Amino acid sequence: MKTYKKENLKYKNGYIFKGDKIVGIDNEIVDLANKMETDTQRKYHEMHNKVEPDDVEEFSRVSEFSRPIITPSTPKLDKKIEESIELMDELDGMRKAEEANEYLESIHPVVQFIQEDFIIDCKQDTQHKFDLPVLGNPLEWDREFLDHFIKKLFE
């Protein structure tokens, strides 16, 4: 098995090269990286095509007659509601952290790939191709990239 320092490799056309030779990357890593790309594109799509419930005005029948409306003062209730919302936000944060940790576990080979400064050339029948138009060159991925990726995916 040959090992190569990432700094001596080039990424082009979905493959990693040493000179004019393709370096065999474990296909599981390539497939998981492509899954990360798909998940990123899905998240961007959801973010840009999401209709917020607050944007939709609630139905209210219009009347030609006015009527008095009495609204009670509820400062204690208002405070409890605010506390409840804060608790729900914390619970959402805990759930998102659990989901992020599960996701990181599911892409563990890519996490290892990112943390290593070298690549082991894997001989396989066929080399799968990276397809990363949004995430870019996997040779440039580092801990900062991973932190940003997870934050954006689970925000």
Over residues 125-152, mean pLDDT = 95
**Sign of the CA dihedral with 119 first, then 42, 133, and 21 last:** positive
Place 65 in a pLDDT band, splitting at 50, 70 and 90.
confident
Are 40 and 34 within 8 A, CB to CB?
A: no
* CA 6 – CA 12 distance, rounded (Å): 14
Residue 76: band (very low, low, confident or very high) from pLDDT cuts 50, 70, 90: very high
Q: pTM (2 decimals)?
A: 0.79
Where are the chain's structural domains? 3-46+108-153
Q: What is the pLDDT of residue 55?
A: 63
Q: Kindly report, residue by residue over 10-48, the tens digit of the pLDDT.
A: 999 999 999 999 999 999 999 999 999 999 999 999 888
